[in-house]
Structure 1
């Protein structure tokens, strides 16, 4: 690669990683983004918006009120819903727009069920609405327009309290003709998504008078060498939210940032705009590969969320404010003793679309994530093999290289589930093909891997080589399924194959065609052992502005790219996952990794933190990044183990394996120019430590899989911050160097070079924690100094829990089927424990369509371990059996008792048919056997 760089243009040389750090000049700051600059110059107070309370219309599930900008006299429509499950929705749009504004489709699971609204109070300038049986009330203030959301008498959130509502109405440009739709799409731009309940958009758009430009760049904007034509003028929207009593906010991934979001006064806001950023820096609000516009706030006894459903470029300002509090906020201070309570201000700014916001009102942390899951879907239950270890690099060279790497794992007794192939495996980077010289027999290669109970992932990117001899390109061009330029031609840019065209995945016909390409008779050489990786789907355009697509490019329905940019990657992910499901006749679960994402992407597979660097900073930042992903629904997250760029030293490589073993998605990956780093290339001493970390991951796979089932059913993250489980402990609110796996294991990876010890905070008043390796017991709460060597991974099991494990070393997850289980019972101070185990076939949808699963609940009390069904719907036969029960927190009892469905003794284990023998019952004391 390095030798070839001189033949590429400078911009492509930089994209290929020749630079040692991201060039910030390639990406916009807020000041360089016209709408962000305009909105940020608006100061709090003096809002021009008035609510016309006399216009209230109260339907069975929605209330509508007209708003008016008293300066421009442009009317807006405010719609309000009280949704079931403690969620409030508000939407603001133009009452009579010149053309429909984009409303994000395909993210919500459907129309959320709504409660009946009632007017419960009126006085001069104020209206009170009851939002349903949860006791929530909404106060609407007339002038200036403001919303205050209360639970009983407690103020939860104020909207537009600072007067920063912005809605740039559509207008005609002075001395210009109306913009034309691309050829062949006349009128399509007027056909937006169907109006939702309560919409009263006029059939005949109003014709406001032409207006002068507000400032240079409002109708045309240039960044570096690229000009954005902005044919419809400035159309940005913005709104502020005041959160009294809150000083900790989280979420809005993806940023290389601490878990707790920092105030943005004096710097740029956090940016949500999917971009291909090579060698990104840490602790910066710069945009990265994906965007989820969900922010969570937490304080003792209350969590809430703000879900801003907008797919355009978005900036989020975060600040604190006391002087500008609402009357209700000041009243709260008075009621709490007269002192100042914290207040966080959140300001959202998007380039286009409408204001569509869901306020998730908790009150508990798990309630907020569940509320979001009910709106956008929960994490898809992954196939079991995908929770194992993945080995990748750019690129394994040929079939012989693949065979040698797979054999290396076998010879060195290292577990492995998946080998990966990057872009060089394809014929000239033509996706859905194989290089005939390097991979002449892909089916045979896949069959050999499958015989060893392993699988493969190949990359399929959404840029298509412009080549008249390439079937994929000629079919897409013939079907007219590419994104268009503003002039109606196929949009082309440079990416890995050279000149590339970009499929329009917003078009359902395009997604259908793409899904069909994964059929075994279309993707030649593929088998059921081959799965998929979608990279570069921001979309990445090396020759485009900010390394992405021009905003004035056109999509299906006439929509501009600016209106839907952040959802493009979700559509690629969705179509690919559907293709893998379809090729098996709907029987098998897909595995698809995607770099770009949006709200709802969790329904389609896994994500990762992108092109990181082999340094300690990037190892450390991987923890809060994945925690933020999980809070935003993307539970199946990981970071490239070892770092994608540059070469890790052996200590860093070992520590990254140890950290990766306790993150949901566990894959090593490396840049083309890095040295090979398969584990056996380390010294024998370091290799042994990597082997131990891998085996530790595989032993805990029953716990991982059960945690993913909880996430799939309940929407609660697999890898979660401590404050989710200990919401009243302020010590946990800003912690992001340790976390919980489900609710049972506390993990504190070692992320400092040369570390001899780490300080681990053990939360929970009156609780106990057990060292996962030594089984030493520790009382909580306390900060515990844990001495470490290079072999140490500080992990603690929570007292009062039961963890299932499979402790026999195997080559892969499939080889573990039928292996016996061990239950680790960690007793609470009261001598009790409980936990569960979820089991299905690990690969199909039979768990959902045929109830082919087992979900067992374990309870230990008074010396008796009881097993019962956690879900009576589940029924399947399993060869698994229980080999041992390890009890932590007791001395050596003379006897122990097992009961199953009321039966006493060491007999059968209910539906599971597990077998017990006296040699399989092991009791451990505090410090070991």
Structure 2
């Protein structure tokens, strides 16, 4: 019997998708800079030939803002520069057309608030420039008039220069020459005058007017600009079979930044490449354009699924950040050179000694929008993270269960299959918290539905998991099957919530369901409606232990240019080109809000997204997309997640085992061992791969995988504490070594090991057949303890550590206290009230510090009602104590302290415990002189109580 046409669609689409990539990514499906007309035009500009100068007579200074007009002497078009000094040691620079023929896109919904400002004062001004005081740490802003340039200095040092290479370029919106005559026809002239009048009034009222002078009279203002309007790609562009119309013509922007004394820059994820960014001299720039890249290649700068336009610079003296707030396609060039002169004339005395210092140049190029950049001055790494968090928010605090192990594949076949896999974990004594369902669980790829034959009783399935205190994630993608019998589609169409094509009809493309519409998630009404669909009475079969996965939200369009949406599609008054990179954030935002609303605002959500942008950390987790079962993909998962952590996205992981292909047993085991020490821990596999549940590779490998997963579960208290602190402060969970050791150049390029928080050093085994790893132990005054053997190693050295297949090299920092739960059960929820073991690792001074954080593990009550326990653990002078870090908090727990293990200890004669009510009792202990490990057994105090342990 021939398959129905509805059932043929997934097969045909799978074949189409495979043809897009073959065995690996087909680079010809994705543009190079040379094939992206605006990137090519911008890169053709030569340094040192800036046409822009500052019109100093237009300078206006308020307490917290300066405005200043810039003029392009080649075409007489004016720009408006706004500069704000922000609280927290940041500066914001915005540059827009003074009088555009229509508004240019300014990215909304990313900043969590209008950033508070601080005063600036005028220090000096003459015909060559202006000097302003920024009010902190001797910082000065120097404006050089001809050519325009901004320098921010601190004392004698230049921190950053804008347009020092003269690569500011602003393609102004214009009417095409062939639509107007030299004197402008009456029809077009009337339209032009109306538009000009409206926007001149708007800008004059917003910006206090703008003085016209001889250099831009009224006649020049309305005449067509004498420029080349016929370069390829300016008004329309073709890539393969796709045409991109550009009704407003070229609109790209560019600005260069110079960072004196900086050799190390990081960030701008997502790329499958090194942690430390490379020079792009003579090669392709880094590309930021959210794309569905099938089986991506390693070690290239092609765009992937997400884009965060943030670069972190670092040297031994200072860490800074640049946040380029633009959601259009963006290219980033990075190069090194020497500084040369910084400013002219009498201002040179401010920057003596800076000439010819090595430094890094960064150039941002975006297709549309405005220049809106935040300079974050640190000076320490943690300061930059706090500054960025104050702008875009912190990592969402996840439910504890989501920090456990996740089992996924495309696809578990039916409810019987789900039950069998769930029972397999119990049979083989392997803990897990989530089982996942991919697209095949739906009724014909209609999201918010269940296949009526394979998943006929979803609530029964979910209840079975809930009875074991486990959970499920089901996929909900943002492409909607065009089907008149599908209520979701009908509702979106009737409300006109779909993205439109350039002719005004609903935009349609091909994705997994076949012909699909794409909801306009930039529309707040659409997001509110989408959120309502997760209500239990709307999403039939859903329950409180069902969470959500947003895939394909770049958005992926199989038959679109570069496997994504046409840039001339429209979202209300904006083109898709203006906001492409923020689409995925909006999908995750609406989904997260839906999960919160379904519980009446009580429960914390969990949403995994593939596409992301600055601010996505507020809404859930990210994974590194469609990787492959290869050793190189295991290796690159580390720098990819470290890069995400640098830009605020801490909840990151890679598909354990690799999505494509089938891993050998050694690779699979090593990937489980690495994944157990990355923030998001999920195994996932392609539809066409053999099954890979953890017990399918023989008893020896099952035991190794079981042990890796169990190690994850013992550390859940530490993971949870790290995520709580990330949510409060913006500090990354998974950290590059230089974050904690910023003055140690040996750490600056390390990407095969990392820190979890401050205190756990992890060096996964990522080489086939490895007999050992070379671990760099940072810190000249540090000691590090092997968490398995308790062997102590001194810092500031490379050390070869032998490994076997059971080895996961992990080391605890001397001077730290880490809480663990050494009794592992079948899920995290089953361990909630289990006792804690404290691992106290003494530094050379015999002290240690740590925290313990406890709440109900799943609601917002920790924020709304301060229902949590947050305690300081401190060891010094042979005394270990627990004290309350937040006296206003209120929460009780049944969990208690079962054991204390002190590493690097001496043998005491006796140990006593004193509680808050003054009760004192002896504590049993053992001392291992070979390892200098002291073990205190059953101190028996509540984990939320005040207590003191005295070693005598």
Partner of 2:28, secondary structure, is helix
Spell out the pairing of 1:410-489 with structure 2 (5 A cutoff). 410-489=426-505
The answer to whether the Cα contact below 8 Å between 1:97 and 1:206 also exists between their aligned partners in 2 is: no
What residue number does 1:103 align with?
Answer: 106
Matched, 1:396 2:412: yes
Residue in structure 2 matched with residue 926 of structure 1 by the alignment: 931
Q: State the 1:324 CA deviation.
A: 5.1
1:694 pairs, out of 686, 709, 730, with 709
> In structure 1, the residue corresponding to 2:338 is in which secondary structure?
coil
Matched, 1:257 2:273: yes
The aligned runs of 1:479-878 (5 Å cut-off) are 479-556=495-572, 558-878=573-893
Distance 1:91 1:923 in 2: 63
Report the secondary structure of 1:835's partner residue. Answer: strand
Residue matched to 1:882: 897
Shift of 1:341: 3.6
Instruction: Give the Cα separation in 2 of the matches to 1:54 and 1:550.
Output: 43
* Deviation string, structure 1 residues 90-146 (Cα, Å, up to 9, x no partner): 000000000000000000011100001110122341201112234321100000000
Q: Would you say 1:155 and 2:158 are equivalent positions? A: yes
CA contact (8 A) 1:365 1:727 kept: yes
1:903: how far off? 4.7
Q: Is the 8 A contact 1:458 1:532 kept in 2?
A: yes
CA apart distance, 1:867: 0.8
> Residues 891-917 of structure 1, C-alpha deviation per residue, up to 9 Å, x if partnerless?
3222234455595745xxxxxxxxxx8
Q: Structure 1 residue 354 and structure 2 residue 359: aligned?
A: no
Query: In 2 relative to 1, CA 659–828 (structure 1 residues): closer, same or farther, beyond 3 Å?
Result: same
Alpha-carbon contact 2:319-2:379 (below 8 Å) kept: yes
Which residue of 1 is the match for residue 941 of structure 2? none
Matched residues in 1 for 2:283 and 2:711: separation? 43
Distance 1:859 1:344 in 2: 42
Give 1:154-193 correspondences, 5 Å limit: 154-176=157-179
> C-alpha offsets along residues 514-553 of structure 1, whole Å, 9 cap, x if unaligned?
0000000000000001000000000000010000000000
The structural deviation recorded for 1:874 is 1.5
Per-residue CA deviations over 1:762-790 (Å, capped at 9, x if unaligned) read 01111111011000111111111100001
How many Å separate the matches in 2 of 1:619 and 1:76?
47
Q: Could you tell me how far apart the structure 2 residues matched to 1:324 and 1:282 are?
A: 36
For residue 13 of structure 1, report the CA deviation from its aligned partner: 2.3
Q: What is the 5 A alignment of 1:77-96?
A: 77-96=80-99
Query: d(CA) in 2 for partners of 1:742 and 1:80?
Result: 35
Residue by residue, what CA displacement relative to the aligned partner does 1:614-665 show, whole Å, maximum 9, x if unpaired? Answer: 0000000000000000001000000000000000000000000000000000
Residue 912 of structure 1 is matched in structure 2 by none
In the alignment, what sits opposite 1:44? 47
1:631–1:616 Cα change, 3 Å:
same
- Tell whether the 8 Å contact from 1:722 to 1:732 is kept in structure 2 after alignment: yes
1:914 equivalent in structure 2: none
Deviation at 1:12, TM superposition (A): 5.3
Matched, 1:289 2:311: no
1:122 matched residue in structure 2: 125
Partner of 2:141: 138
Q: What CA distance in whole angstroms lies between the structure 2 residues aligned with 1:332 and 1:393?
A: 61
Cα distance in 2, alignment partners of residues 428 and 683 from structure 1: 36
Equivalent of 2:391, from 357, 370, 375?
Answer: 375
Distance of 1:615 and 1:330 partners within structure 2: 54
Q: Choose 9-18 or 424-433, whichever is displaced more.
A: 9-18
CA distance in 2, matches of 1:226, 1:417: 45
TM-score (norm 1): 0.94
Q: 1:853 to 1:605 in 2, by over 3 A?
A: same
Alpha carbons 1:664, 1:718 under 8 Å: kept? yes
- Does the CA contact (< 8 Å) of 2:158 and 2:260 recur in 1? yes
- Relative distance call for 1:246 and 1:517 in structure 2 (3 A) is same
Q: Structure 1 residues 197 and 292, CA, compared in 2 at 3 Å: closer, same or farther?
A: farther
The answer to whether the 8 A contact 1:808-1:819 is kept is yes
Cα pair distance change 1:592/1:158, threshold 3 Å: same
Cα contact 2:912–2:923 (8 A) shared by 1: no
Q: Secondary structure at the match of 2:774?
A: strand
The gaps in structure 1 that reach 5 residues or longer are: 181-185, 907-916
Q: Name the TM-score, length of structure 2 as normaliser.
A: 0.92
Q: 1:207 to 1:769 in 2, by over 3 A?
A: same
Contact in 1 for aligned 2:439/2:445 (Cα 8 Å): yes
Whether the 8 Å contact between 1:118 and 1:129 is mirrored in structure 2 is yes
Task: Map 1:270-285 to 2 at 5 A.
Answer: 270-285=286-301
- 1:884·1:921 contact (CA, 8 Å) conserved in 2? no
C-alpha spacing 1:837/1:207, structure 2 compared with 1 (3 Å): farther
Please state if 1:365 is matched with 2:381.
yes
> Residue in 2 aligned with 1:66?
69
Moved more, 673-682 or 144-153: 144-153
Q: Secondary structure at the match of 1:680?
A: coil
Change (3 A) 1:7 1:80: closer
Structure 1 residues 10-19 or 398-407, which shifts more? 10-19
1:200 Cα offset (Å): 5.5
**Residues 872, 882 of structure 2: 8 Å contact kept:** yes
Q: Over the residues paired in the alignment, what is the CA RMSD in angstroms?
A: 2.6
**Distance in 2 separating the partners of 1:255 and 1:325:** 34
Q: Is the 8 A contact 1:854 1:874 kept in 2?
A: yes
Hey, what's the Cα distance between the residues in 1 that align with 2:10 and 2:550?
27
Taking the aligned partners of 2:493 and 2:868, their CA distance within structure 1 comes to 45
1:307 counterpart SS class: strand
Secondary structure in structure 1 of the residue aligned to 2:254: strand
Correspondence 1:23 to 2:23: no
Summarize deviations over 1:358-406 as a string: whole Å, max 9, x none: 0000000010011000000000111100000000000000000000000
* Equivalent in the alignment of 1:304: 320
For 1:522 and 1:297, locate their aligned partners in 2 and report how far apart those are by CA, in whole Å: 48
- TM-superposition CA deviations, 1:294-345 (whole Å, max 9, x none): 0000000200000000000000000001275636999999748x9x642100
| Partners of 2:383 and 2:817 in 1: CA distance | 24
Distance 1:620 1:332 in 2: 46
Give secondary structure in 1 for the equivalent of 2:538.
coil
User: Are residues 415 and 7 of structure 1, via their aligned partners in 2, closer, same or farther at CA, if it must alter by over 3 Å?
Assistant: closer
Preserved contact between residue 331 and residue 366 of structure 2 (Cα < 8 Å):
yes
* Structure 2: distance between partners of 1:451 and 1:58: 65
Match of 2:422 among 406, 429, 434: 406
Supply the distance in 2 between the matched residues of 1:73 and 1:440 (Cα, whole angstroms). 68
Aligned to 2:214: none
Paired residues of 1:393 and 1:672 also in contact (CA < 8 A): yes
Cα distance in 2 between the residues matched to 1:196 and 1:875: 54
Q: In structure 2, how many angstroms separate the alpha carbons of the residues matched to 1:396 and 1:172?
A: 55
